[in-house]
Structure 1
Amino acid sequence: MNEEPLLSIIVPCFNEEEVLPETMKVLTGILDSLSETGTISRRSFILFVDDGSSDKTWQLVSERAQTVSSIQGLRLSRNFGHQNALIAGIETVNEAADCVITIDADLQDDARAIPAFIRKYQEGFDVVYGVRKRRDQDTFFKKNSARIFYRLMAKMGVNLVPDHADFRLLSRRSVQEFMRYQEENLFIRGIIPLLSFKSAKVYYDRQKRYAGESKYPLKKMLAFAVDGITSFTIVPIKLVMNIGFLFVLIGGVIGVYALINWFLDHTISGWTSLILSIWMIGGMQLIAVGVIGEYIGKIFTETKKRPRYTIEINTLNDKN
């Protein structure tokens, strides 16, 4: 293990002009402190990945990159999404860094935990997960929906680390192994545990957002959860099939019941049961078509083999 590893901190950014000056100040301070004590190489750097921001995010990054050697920038040609911005950063620094740490720009993940990440890395861990100690600041809905999501994923056979987002450390060999996963719909939080390298957890307190607004409203959170489920397991399709068999069974029971009543010459009032059956079966069919359509859509995306992102400007190359 390299005694003074070259660390790259990757920070995806999307319209973060309000928080970015403070983020740069905090992260460069931590980087300088680790460099001065000989914990990491003095050539370590922070890579800010601008995911197609429409505000002054890139201006702030590019200006600071010209004056501060430890700050570098990567600008994507448009908004490709948080996960693709992370992948762009990881792939860009793959050859340069001994280890990478990914952290969001909003400072909610406690950057003060970074030295603990490095200590775990130097102890021989290839993957270090940043895990929240508690979710006190989350709303009731967000807290409980997150718990349901983790339990649901576990029952579907997906090995996720509860209360871990995208605050993590990866060694160079874990990054290289991660890059072998070439699918278009790459669910990073599910892929990293699949690597099965030696891992550790660092617990931290979630901070309030320093400035700006969250880039993950309810709509994006739900889309992210659906993407994670459908990218990793076909259990929903099997579930739809099983529910279909259940409806067939219920239909058979109703048929037997109707036949018995016909033999007994009982009057059957059929309007309510008919309407309920139509709505239930029709709803089930729409759900089934939607679930199957989600998977077909992913297959369609995969077959195109389009790149996950397009780089417009890379100051890392300019400095080298």
Structure 2
Amino acid sequence: METLHPWHLDFSKPPEPALELRSAPVVSLVLPCFNEQEVLPETTRRLVVLLDRLKAEGRAAPGSAIYYVDDGSSDCTWRLIGEYAAAFPTVCGIKLSRNRGHQNALLCGLLTAPGEVLVSLDADLQDDLDAIPRMLDDYRAGSEIVYAVRRCRAVDSFFKRCSAEGYYRLLALLGVQVQFNHADFRLMSRRAVETLRDYEETHLFLRGLVPQLGYRTSVVEFDRASRFAGESKYPLRKMLALAWEGVTSFTASPLRLITGAGVLVSLGSLLLTAWALGIRLFTHEAVPGWASGVIPMYLLGGVQLLSLGIIGEYLAKVYESTKKRPRFHVEVVCGNSFRKDTP
């Protein structure tokens, strides 16, 4: 038998610890809701079946539950949540005092719901529920955050697909760390959620905030389905607002672009001056006062207005952050997990 000497051993890499799977966690499914009365019955039915299956397979522990966050709905959403909470022991509800927006409602659910693992998803059934067991497997293998990433955007229109993918590339170009083609369908461990609690962001963009936490992450791909019922609560106006939040909340690149634009405008003005002098000295086609007045006026005026707008946006964020107003208020909760007599 060959004898191994110390010089035969490879000390270039530390030995990898033996991988030990975590035990089945208590899972909380967090779903922000805004006027979702049309889809809520089917969503509840599927999620209740999913939780029962996860428990039977040993992927989720007893005590796992569904947490709907009513973001100030004006229809029968909260009434339905209350009925389901009374009918199913695994359904709970959190009602905000008023509409605070999707990101704040989602944060409220994450910070309010108990559980060792929290999975955030939309209530419209576009997120593939079959991806959740795979996300839990990654958690049990050691991941603290698991991103559910769209494999393709076949259900999106050409405009939405191109604009969304272009936006993710723009964020990466500006230095914002985001997961490509990932929205808010993700798994977070209790450790990651408690770390997220320390971030007191006034303008929330969780897609950019969660990667700031660090910790071990993994990716699970899924195919996004069409909306089961109802209408999208994110029209173009809200999508553009969320996109702008993502840019201005995580990078100062627009301010630096203003400096670059100032340099370019200065160089352009010098070139324009040289061109105007050339026309005046060597030709007879010069129009008195046109080149020196009209072009610089429109050019500089547009750049100044754009620059003031961008600076004003950042100043507004500073102003709103200094007020330190609460991001949401919980009006009422319902469900077994919030009852004092529940262990």
What TM-score bracket applies, with the shorter chain setting the length? over 0.9
What is the distance in 1 between the residues matched to 2:160 and 2:285? 50
Deviation at 1:267, TM superposition (A): 5.2
Residue identity in the other structure for 2:338: N
Instruction: Give the match for residue 300 of structure 1.
Output: 319
Instruction: Give the match for residue 95 of structure 2.
Output: 75
Q: How does 1:158-177 map to 2 (within 5 A)?
A: 158-177=176-195
What is the distance in 1 between the residues matched to 2:100 and 2:202? 12
TM-score normalised by length of structure 2: 0.89
Give aligned pairs, total. Answer: 318
Instruction: Give the match for residue 44 of structure 1.
Output: 64
Residue identity in the other structure for 1:237: L
TM-score normalised by length of structure 1: 0.95
Deviation at 1:229, TM superposition (A): 0.2
Does residue 278 (structure 1) correspond to residue 297 (structure 2)? The answer is yes
Deviations 1:228-279 (A, max 9, x none): 0000001011101210121112112222343455555855215664434322
Deviation at 1:282, TM superposition (A): 1.7
What is the distance in 2 between the residues matched to 1:147 and 1:90? 27
Deviations 1:148-202 (A, max 9, x none): 1111111111111111110000011111111111121121101111222111111
Deviation at 1:58, TM superposition (A): 0.2
What is the distance in 2 between the residues matched to 1:239 and 1:270? 34
Deviation at 1:11, TM superposition (A): 0.4
Instruction: Give the match for residue 100 of structure 1.
Output: 118
Instruction: Give the match for residue 43 of structure 2.
Output: 23
- Consecutive unaligned residues in structure 1, runs of 5 or more: none
Q: 1:265 to 1:229 in 2, by over 3 A?
A: same
SS of the aligned residue for 2:85 comes to helix
Instruction: Give the match for residue 212 of structure 1.
Output: 230
Instruction: Give the match for residue 339 of structure 2.
Output: 318
Residue identity in the other structure for 1:317: F
Instruction: Give the match for residue 221 of structure 2.
Output: 203
Give the aligned CA root-mean-square deviation in angstroms.
1.6
Q: 1:248 to 1:92 in 2, by over 3 A?
A: same
- Consecutive unaligned residues in structure 2, runs of 5 or more: 1-20
What is the distance in 1 between the residues matched to 2:33 and 2:290? 55
Answer with 245-254 or 235-244: which moved more. 245-254
Q: How does 1:56-75 map to 2 (within 5 A)?
A: 56-75=76-95
What is the distance in 2 between the residues matched to 1:237 and 1:185? 18
SS of the aligned residue for 1:10 comes to strand
Deviation at 1:216, TM superposition (A): 0.7
Larger radius of gyration: 2
What is the distance in 2 between the residues matched to 1:262 and 1:213? 62
> Percent of pairs identical after alignment?
44
